[in-house]
Amino acid sequence: MSRILIVEDEAIIRTALRRLLERHGYAVSEAGCVDEALALEPRSFDLVISDLRLPGEPGTDLIEQAAPVPVLIMTSYASMRSAVESLKQGAVDYVAKPFDHDELLETVSRVLHQQSSHRAAPPDITDAGGSRQQMIGECAAMQAVYTRIRKTAPADVTVLIQGESGTGKELVARAIHQQSQRTHAPLICVNCAAIPETLIESELFGHEKGAFTGASAARTGLVEAADGGTLFLDEIGELPLDAQARLLRVLQEGEIRRIGSVETRHVDVRLIAATHRDLRALSKTGEFRLDLYYRLNVMQIDLPPLREREDDVLRIAEVLLEKACKRHHREGLRLSRAARREIRDYPWPGNVRELENALERGVILAEGHLIHPDDLGLSGSPASQPRGTTEPRPMPANPAVEDEENAEEDLSLEDYFQHFVLEHQDHMSETELAQKLGISRKCLWERRQRLGIPRKKQARRSSA
């Protein structure tokens, strides 16, 4: 069902138009001025029908605010001048008041059909394992992402992807690479948070034999390995300042120099960077080079968090559930109505990655043919309260069947982790913390994100 927003200050006309559209199967919302329309988030609709002359700002102000949603302008002044002016500003069409019902319905149907046929198609992606998959999502925010991918991919410019952890930044990077002119060259993916600070420069830029203790042979860096192709640096906000200076040289001059070498090598690499952090804010504290930020931010793609993607969450859940069922040989499992409601209302701080893990648990724990909320493992979390509510969830009918032992163990481990990191991070590096905890540096970083433990402030190092 298409959703239409009517913006009209005359209540009689607004009500009559709403009833006309509702009789023909449209879902309609109303606003009396531009400010009221903006409060209803016009980008969440399929079409905006607005009067030209409104109290305060004119209806044409919605054209830019609602984009890419089309705006159909109504005007009492059926002059060619007002109509042409609206079209010049980007209105999809105009109708003159008093309007003919059949003519209006025909115009609405045509605009919605055109909008549907011009919706950006989700890109097909070949993942690291060689299997094909398609990005999922039909909300306005994801439509904007698909359009930006389609326009950016052939341009061979540096791209900065911003979004929370688990929103699919690597999928976007793969889509850009596979739609670019470099699609037959390698795509090298690097998680900057997963490599120890002492090794990151060697990993990225390579080293010569004997350059440092343990360098028993020369090694090609990942930047050089991506020559002719694309280098994807995930969580670039975690890159040390020394490595940032070297990366800036690559972007400015297309040159690298291996550690321990005096020879400069030329590389042709397209860089795609991703982060969940505010790089501009980091530059003000000295944690990220401002000149590198400007070099990275040629084209920016913002990925929306899952909680802001409307009904996309259920579409994604169905696809992930099907894959999980195949992996565990449990075809035919379905989500119960209560589980679907739980998935729709949960805020998903871990985004798609957290959703995938919850469905994996559901497939493993479900008995029978339905997955229930308890199988998803979300009910025990305070974050599982539906957005906008404060009422506590009811206790389970039989608490004895809950996996209390595992829950207590998880809680104690998280408490220990948080206490240890906060106590020792002032005099230990990230690598030392990870070694003491017996986990990888990547795992340390991911737990920091999940528990909201900030990294210690580091003194600014000279990059000259």
Residues 43 and 167 in one domain: no
* Band (418; pLDDT cuts 50, 70, 90): confident
**pLDDT, position 69:** 86
Chosen domain end from 282, 302, 322: 302
Q: List, in order, residues 6 or more apart from 131 with CB less than 8 Å away.
A: none
Residues 7 and 141 in one domain: no
Residues 103 and 157 in one domain: no
List C-alpha distances in Å: 297 to 42, 166, 270, 292.
28, 21, 13, 9
Range of the domain at 327: 306-376
Residues 348 and 432 in one domain: no
Give me the mean pLDDT over the 233-258 stretch: 92
Residues 226 and 172 in one domain: yes
Q: Which of 245-259, 297-311, 425-439 has the lowest mean pLDDT?
A: 425-439
What does the alpha-carbon distance between residue 140 and residue 34 come to, in Å, rounded to a whole number? 20
The label of the residue with tokens 């389970």 reads 396
What does the alpha-carbon distance between residue 413 and residue 419 come to, in Å, rounded to a whole number? 10
Residues 376-395 have pLDDT tens digits of: 988 544 434 443 343 333 44
290-298: long-range pairs with CB below 8 Å, 24+ = 291/248, 292/244, 292/247, 292/248, 292/251, 295/158, 295/248, 295/251, 295/252, 296/158, 296/160, 296/236, 296/251, 296/271, 297/158, 297/160, 298/157, 298/158, 298/159, 298/160
The backbone torsions φ and ψ at residue 395, rounded to the nearest 5 degrees and listed phi first, read -70, 150
Residues 276 and 169 in one domain: yes
Residues 104-156 have pLDDT tens digits of: 898 998 888 877 666 666 777 776 666 677 788 878 788 889 988 988 999 89
Check: CB of residue 278 under 8 Å from CB of residue 240: no
Residues 274 and 371 in one domain: no
Residues 252 and 345 in one domain: no
**pLDDT, position 286:** 92
What does the alpha-carbon distance between residue 250 and residue 269 come to, in Å, rounded to a whole number? 8
Measuring CA to CA, which residue among 170, 291, 174, 186 is closest to residue 234?
Answer: 170
Chosen domain end from 268, 302, 336: 302
CATH of the domain at 113: 3.40.50.2300
**pLDDT score of 464 more than 50:** no
> How many other CB atoms are found less than 10 A from the CB of residue 1?
7
Helix (H, G, I), strand (E, B) or coil at 5: strand
Measuring CA to CA, which residue among 296, 272, 254, 252 is closest to residue 153?
Answer: 272
Residues 167 and 288 in one domain: yes
Query: How many structural domains comprise the chain?
Result: 4
Residues 262 and 149 in one domain: yes
List C-alpha distances in Å: 105 to 66, 83, 272.
21, 19, 45
The backbone torsions φ and ψ at residue 29, rounded to the nearest 5 degrees and listed phi first, read -120, 160
What does the alpha-carbon distance between residue 62 and residue 48 come to, in Å, rounded to a whole number? 8
Compare 366 and 215 and report the one with higher pLDDT: 366
**pLDDT, position 310:** 75
Residues 59-113 have pLDDT tens digits of: 888 988 888 789 998 887 555 677 678 888 888 888 887 778 888 898 998 888 8
**pLDDT score of 157 more than 90:** yes
Residues 313 and 336 in one domain: yes
Examine residue 396 and say whether the peptide bond preceding it is cis (omega within 30 degrees of 0). no
* Residue 278 included in any domain: yes
DSSP label at 380? T
Residues 228 and 154 in one domain: yes
Chosen domain end from 280, 302, 324: 302
1 is written with which tokens?
């069902």
Q: How crowded is the C-beta side of 130, counted as CA atoms within 13 Å?
A: 0
Q: List, in order, residues 6 or more apart from 118 with CB less than 8 Å away.
A: none
Check: CB of residue 167 under 8 Å from CB of residue 304: yes
* Band (213; pLDDT cuts 50, 70, 90): confident
* Residue 460 included in any domain: no
List C-alpha distances in Å: 135 to 126, 128, 167, 304, 314.
11, 15, 11, 13, 14
Check: CB of residue 406 under 8 Å from CB of residue 414: no
* Band (188; pLDDT cuts 50, 70, 90): very high
DSSP label at 153? G
Radius of gyration of the chain (CA): 27
